[in-house]
Amino acid sequence: MSTENIVQLLITERERLNRAIEALQSATVRRGRPPGSGRKGKPGRKPGRRGMSAAARKAQSARMKAYWAQRRKQKA
């Protein structure tokens, strides 16, 4: 094989590699659903999920404090 043929093959291979590198660098591959698809309401919240009012949070806090006090009492 002549030197010219080898050089031509190397140049062809270099061009192929450069195209592959450019394709990988420019590609922004995302996995999963596109953002916002199938979601309604406020961003960042699951659909159908309601927030707790201040009174509900306070009542839940009292219940949990009583629960853990009972657990500590049982352990001792």
Task: Read off the pLDDT of residues 12-48 as tens digits, 9 standing for 90 and up.
Answer: 999 999 999 888 887 666 666 666 655 555 666 667 7
Structural element, H or E, at residue 27: none
d(CA 14, CA 54): 65
CB burial readout 19-34, b (16+ within 10 A) else e = eeeeeeeeeeeeeeee
Question: What residue type is assigned to position 35 of the chain?
Answer: P
- 42 or 53, which is more confident? 53
pLDDT, residue 36, reads 62
Query: 50: pLDDT confidence band, cut at 50, 70 and 90?
Result: confident
